[in-house]
Every structure is written in structure tokens, then in C-alpha cells.
């Protein structure tokens, strides 16, 4: 039972009391899946964020993974991070009625009143069109925020939905709002390609047109945030010219 009538057809739903990591669980169950599956954990004991960093997940917050078995090339599959970010934002706006409060930070964060509310972690196995599975891990601070000591230097201040808006949602209720939003945007992506998703994402992009800093594993670039291109790259206008950046940490 999902708790609502509009759970998307064809999507599985499993809720776990505790697990090491929803992305790890996704890898374990992927070989036996016949369709996309949402995995929600009420507790994670070994959650992880980008680049293997520990992910702090206090009780009452949202931690879930959508696992799929895609047939497309890895670069196209990875564009689903934008689909997921839009779905998270749509579910949050529906819950709060505060469309102007939620913005999107490249490559995969959702902000509330300028603070980090949600993050998305992509993981896959295989190569080329032989990807065995693709996992979209989503964490949302519904009730609590991680301790300041757990944050990396320069990170945006963390915020919670409850503290910023007064809206109290259970993880299960948020999943029941998120899954239909994702399914609708996924269908749009499959049918019409990335461009409609990209244009909608840019309408909600944080700091678009302003000077930001992007730090890759090798270099740091500062420039005006011009756009996100058709490949999902961050485009900066720097003193050395126009740069397309495929992966970086963004600071502002």
C-alpha cells in the first residue's frame, strides 16, 4: 500500500526500517528488478554523499533511492539528476505552497531560502549501454540538519523544511508526493529529451547570471554563471574565456 491513489504505475515501492545505505541496497536488488523501484530507509547506518563522504541522516529526514535499469548511454542517463532535482522541488512546493523559496544549485542540490535542504547522489554499475543499474539517491532535511562540525569548509548552511517553513512531513508522505512528480518528469524526459527539463531547471537555478566559483579536482574557476548546456555542463564566463565544466563543487 502506498497511502495514495496516484502512485505511478510500474514503479515499485519498498520501505525499510533500517539499512546501511539505500544506494547500496539498490545495487543489491538491481539484478532482480523488472522495473524502476523506490527504496526508502527510515534509518541509514552507513550513508554516503558525493565523493564517498559520509552523509549525515538524522531521524525523521528523507533518505531514498530510485533504482532503474537503463538502456541509454551513461551521459544521457546521468541527466536524470536534473529530472530528480525538479521532482524534489515540485514535491516541496506542493507541500508548502512556497514556490519562490526553493531554488536549484548545480549540479544536484535543492535550496530553501538559500540554504541546502536536499542533495542527490548518482551511482551506476557497468559501462556503455551495458549499465547494469543506475541509482538516484536523494536526501532531504525534513526535520533536522547535520551538525556544523560535519560540514565541509565553504559548504552552504544546512536548513530543514520544518524549521524554515513549519511544515512537518514524514519520509513516507514525502515519497508519496515525490514519486508521481518524478514519474511525470521522467516521461517528459523520455518523450521530448533533455531540453524541456533543462529550460525548466534553469528557471529555478540559484545564482544564474551572478559570479560563482567552481572547484574541480584539479582547478578552481571563477566567473559569471551563464547557463547549463545541452550536455548538463555548467557554463561559466571567466577572465580566460567561456568554460564548460562537467563536474565540480560550486561555491557562492
> Which CATH number is 233's domain given?
2.30.30
What is the number of alpha carbons within 13 Å of residue 50 lying toward its C-beta? 15
* Contacting residues for 116 by C-beta, under 8 A, at least 6 apart: 105, 109, 110, 141, 155, 156, 157, 158, 159
Is residue 215 within 8 A of residue 252, CB to CB? The reply is no
Per-residue model confidence (pLDDT) at position 139 = 95
Percentage of the chain beyond pLDDT 90 is 81
Residue 5 forms part of a structural domain:
no
Q: Which residues are within 8 A (CB) of 203 and not within 5 positions of it... i.e. 6 or more apart?
A: none
**Per-residue pLDDT at 56:** 61
Indicate whether 65 and 122 sit together in one domain.
yes
Whether 154 shows a pLDDT value over 70: the answer reads: yes
Q: Which is it for strands 37-41 and 12-16: parallel, antiparallel or unpaired?
A: parallel
pLDDT at 2: 47
| Co-location of 56 and 119 in the same domain | yes
pLDDT of residue 59: 83
Q: For residue 103, is it within any domain?
A: yes
Residue ranges making up the domain that contains 247: 211-251
Q: Which residue has the higher pLDDT, 238 or 2?
A: 238
Indicate the number of domains in the chain: 2
Q: Give the mean pLDDT of the chain.
A: 92
Answer yes or no: do 215 and 199 share one domain.
no
CATH of the domain at 109: 3.30.930.10
Taking the alpha carbons at both ends of the chain, their separation in whole angstroms is 43
Q: Region 149-156: what's the mean pLDDT?
A: 73
Claim to verify: residue 158 and residue 242 sit in the same structural domain: no
Tens-digit pLDDT profile for residues 195-242: 999 999 999 999 999 999 999 999 999 999 999 999 999 999 999 999
pLDDT tens digits for range 68-78: 998 899 999 99
Amino acid at each position: 500500500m502506498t497511502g495514495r491513489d496516484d502512485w505511478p504505475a510500474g514503479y515499485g515501492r519498498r520501505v525499510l526500517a533500517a539499512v546501511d545505505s539505500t544506494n547500496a541496497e539498490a545495487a543489491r536488488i538491481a539484478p532482480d528488478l523488472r522495473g524502476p523501484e523506490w527504496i526508502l530507509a527510515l534509518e541509514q547506518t552507513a550513508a554516503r554523499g558525493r565523493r564517498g563522504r559520509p552523509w549525515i541522516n538524522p531521524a525523521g529526514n528523507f533518505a531514498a533511492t530510485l533504482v532503474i535499469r537503463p538502456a541509454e548511454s551513461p551521459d544521457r542517463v546521468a541527466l536524470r539528476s536534473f529530472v530528480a532535482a525538479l521532482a524534489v522541488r515540485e514535491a516541496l512546493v506542493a507541500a508548502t505552497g512556497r514556490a519562490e523559496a526553493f531554488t536549484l544549485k548545480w549540479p544536484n542540490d535543492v535550496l530553501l531560502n538559500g540554504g541546502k535542504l536536499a542533495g542527490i547522489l548518482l551511482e551506476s554499475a557497468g559501462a556503455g549501454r551495458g549499465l547494469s543499474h543506475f541509482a538516484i539517491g536523494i536526501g532531504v532535511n525534513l526535520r533536522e540538519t547535520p551538525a556544523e562540525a560535519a560540514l565541509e569548509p565553504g559548504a552552504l548552511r544546512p536548513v530543514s523544511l520544518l524549521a524554515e517553513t513549519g511544515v512537518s512531513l514524514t519520509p513516507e508522505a514525502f515519497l508519496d508526493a515525490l514519486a508521481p512528480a518524478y514519474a511525470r518528469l521522467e516521461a517528459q524526459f523520455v518523450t521530448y529529451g533533455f531540453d524541456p527539463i533543462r529550460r525548466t531547471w534553469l528557471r529555478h537555478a540559484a545564482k544564474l547570471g551572478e559570479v560563482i566559483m567552481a572547484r574541480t579536482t584539479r582547478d578552481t574557476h571563477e566567473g559569471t554563471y551563464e547557463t547549463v548546456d545541452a550536455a548538463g555542463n555548467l557554463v561559466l564566463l571567466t577572465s580566460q574565456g567561456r568554460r564548460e565544466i562537467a563536474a565540480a563543487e560550486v561555491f557562492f
